[in-house]
Chains A and B, each alone.
Chain A
Amino acid sequence: MVLEVRTTEQGIALDLTGEWRALAYQQIDSALAAVDLAGARRIEILTGRLAALDLTGAWRLREFVLQAQKMGAQVTFAGTPPDQMRLVAETLRPIEAAAAAAAPRPVMDLRTELEELPVEAEVATLTFIGRRAVTLWRDMSGALAFLGRVSATGLGALPHPRSLRPTSIARHVYDTGITAIPIVALIAFLISVIVAYMSAQQLRSYGAEIFVVDLVTIGVLRELGVLLTSIIVAGRSGSAFAAEIGSMKLNEEVDALQATGVDPFEALVLPRVIGLVISLPLLTVIADLVGLVGGAVLCASLLHIPLDQYVTRVSQAITPTTFWVGVIKAPVFAALIAMAGTHRGMQVSGSSRELGRLTTLAVVQAIFLVILADALFAVLFLEIGV
């Protein structure tokens, strides 16, 4: 119990007891809410048995007093009102004084003050579209400027190969390439097995099982090998780039680099781009090889095509360009992934929420760009007839 209510001649007397603390708010609130104010002319509050009263308790008591006064009751304290009430009142006074000066509203409370604060207004549809268009435009010109700056830094560094930071590039080749081999190999193997299995089911009805080899070979070498590798790397390394550089931005490490006279594009962005441009084609070659092995395993076990026949068929299926058509795309995809990651990382500022948002954006954009570029490559190869 935090409250005892007694009826007196002119009204009621409230005897506050126990600890009026924030953690007991529920009891205090419900006890005060349950007090029947109707018809009470005088309310006397006794605080002698109160063990503790903190600001939260004092605030709730003050709310009660104000409510009672509004209903026409006269509220008195037995003895002096507790100090904490005065502290609450003092803290609130500037607001109430300001409200009295501004007049039309009688008493302004904290909540009204909070509501008065400017909140971002709801935007109309047209404004929304306009804003999005401007954002999109800025985003695109920003990306172009980023590409320009990376190219300029790269070209500027060419005459002095040491400023390309070979150690850093080697680290990124290791992080993005060598450590990715197991997952890339596993996925290439499984995908080629799936492709072989699916096509075998269809081609069997024509008795043309041998063409499974052609499908797997061309599919893996031209498209699947490089595309799947790029998507895995976009998820693995694109996000890592954005998060690494983003947290360096939050930590003011990028500022520190610049203050030392080191260009962050040269020290942070370029090694990552170059590193990935080196490692992704190599990963693609591995994915191609493992993919062909996967096809061979399935053909041997399910279609009873022996290994030597598989190899002969593979060499017949491919033209001199088949392998290169796939691998040539890898450096382009690598540059897109690395730049999406580093660009978004460099955009991080302010809060950890930004970091999360931009890392997500980096991965989504990297995958989108890879697939878009792949479509453009397909059109290009069709036109030049390879």
Chain B
Amino acid sequence: MIYPVLEVQGLVNRFGSQVVHDGLDMEVREDEVFGIVGGSGTGKSVLLRSVLGLQRPQAGTIRLEGHDITQLSGAALRAVKARYGVTFQQGALYSALNVLQNVQLPMVEYMQELSESARDELAMLKIRLVGLPADAARKYPAELSGGMIKRAALARALALDPRLLFLDEPTSGLDPISAAEFDELMLYLQKQLRLTVVMITHDLDSIFRTCNRVGVIVDHRMETDTLERIVDHPNPWIQAYFHGERAGIRLKVAHGA
């Protein structure tokens, strides 16, 4: 059954006189990888912050698994927040905690009854799951490479086994090989854990490898379609994005030409 895990309707975000979103609609279905694309300053991060419940939009509804988070607050909002995992662009690992403690933090918050040894084992399970070596567990974020930070952030996002995962530019700042490895890891986990993934990205390789459907933010709204069809969308920005010089080669590869 395909039903929307995340449904955004008529989202409006304004800062003073600056309009970021004006009636934006978005729908993410179960078990898909949904890519969010848009030029710099089109409000991808604002959209993510709205969907995560970190900031309240001026208008519109945002339904996460049926709960309208724009109407929730306090304990109810907290309960919804336990159901998704998120990784931020720079990792946002807590620098005062090591990787193990970073992964355990959501467990400490939401699974108080978990014994210390069970917490250690579960956190180690997640650390191994994202392909980090065991000795990374005791390292602090400052001691990790860029790729390891992204993986550790992913392990923390998976701490509570969410069904919905948000990734904010997961491959930015990685070399192409590490970025490709991260894509494969994400796809593997997505299949194995039956995750629904919402991913903000600029990385065309990443989009063509991983995304089922893509939403492009243009003119304060979102144009959504499958990857095969969105590349032929008439909007000039979308044309430039998918058919610019940098994209040409990838399209050929994607279409098997």
Chain A residues within 8 Å of B, Cβ to Cβ = 21-23, 25-26, 29, 54-57, 59-60, 83-84, 87-88, 91-92, 94-95, 109-111, 113-114, 117-119, 349-353
Contact = CB atoms under 8 A, between A and B. Distances in A.
Contacts of A350: 95, 140, 142
Contacts of A83: 192
- Interface of B, secondary structure class, is helix
A22 B161 contact: yes
Contacts of A349: 142
Contacts of B40: none
A110 B96 contact: no
Interface of B: 82-83, 95-96, 100, 107, 110-111, 113-114, 117-118, 120-122, 124-126, 128-129, 134-135, 137-138, 140-142, 158-161, 192-193
A84 B83 CA distance: 19
Nearest to B115: A29
B111 A23 contact: yes
Given A91-B128, A114-B124, 12 more contacts: A21-B161, A23-B82, A23-B83, A23-B110, A23-B160, A54-B161, A55-B126, A55-B158, A87-B193, A117-B134, A117-B135, A351-B95
A270 B121 CA distance: 51
Given A83-B192, A110-B125, A111-B124, A352 B134 contact: no
25 contacts: A22-B159, A22-B161, A23-B111, A25-B111, A25-B113, A25-B114, A26-B113, A29-B114, A29-B118, A54-B193, A56-B122, A56-B161, A57-B161, A59-B122, A60-B118, A91-B125, A91-B128, A91-B129, A92-B128, A109-B121, A110-B128, A113-B124, A114-B124, A117-B138, A351-B142
A29 B113 contact: yes
Contacts of B95: 350-353
B215 to A, nearest CB: 27
A55 B113 CA distance: 17
A375 to B, nearest CB: 37
Contact of A111 (B107, B110, B120, B193): B120
Q: Which 9 A-B pairs have the closest CB atoms?
A: A351-B95, A54-B161, A350-B142, A110-B124, A353-B96, A26-B113, A110-B121, A22-B161, A22-B160
A105 to B, nearest CB: 15
Nearest to B106: A22
Contacts of B122: 56, 59
Contacts of A59: 121-122, 125
A57 to B, nearest CB: 8
A114 B110 CA distance: 23
A292 to B, nearest CB: 48
Contact of A92 (B125, B137, B193): B125
Contacts of A22: 107, 110-111, 159-161
A83 to B, nearest CB: 7
Contacts of B120: 110-111, 114
B193 A113 contact: no
Contacts of B117: 111
Contacts of B107: 22
A110 B116 CA distance: 13
A111 B82 contact: no
B113 A352 contact: no
Of the listed residues A22, A87, A118, the one surrounded by the most CB atoms of chain B closer than 10 A to its CB is A22
Of the listed residues A57, A110, A118, A353, the one surrounded by the most CB atoms of chain B closer than 10 A to its CB is A110
Nearest to B143: A350
B90 to A, nearest CB: 11
Contact of B137 (A88, A91, A117): A117
Contacts of A54: 161, 193
Nearest to A24: B111
A333 to B, nearest CB: 33
A344 to B, nearest CB: 18
Contacts of A92: 125, 128
B88 to A, nearest CB: 15
A117 to B, nearest CB: 5
Given A91-B128, A353-B95, A113 B134 contact: yes
A109 B124 CA distance: 10
A55 B114 CA distance: 15
A210 B135 CA distance: 75
Nearest to B93: A351
Of the listed residues A29, A55, A57, the one surrounded by the most CB atoms of chain B closer than 10 A to its CB is A55
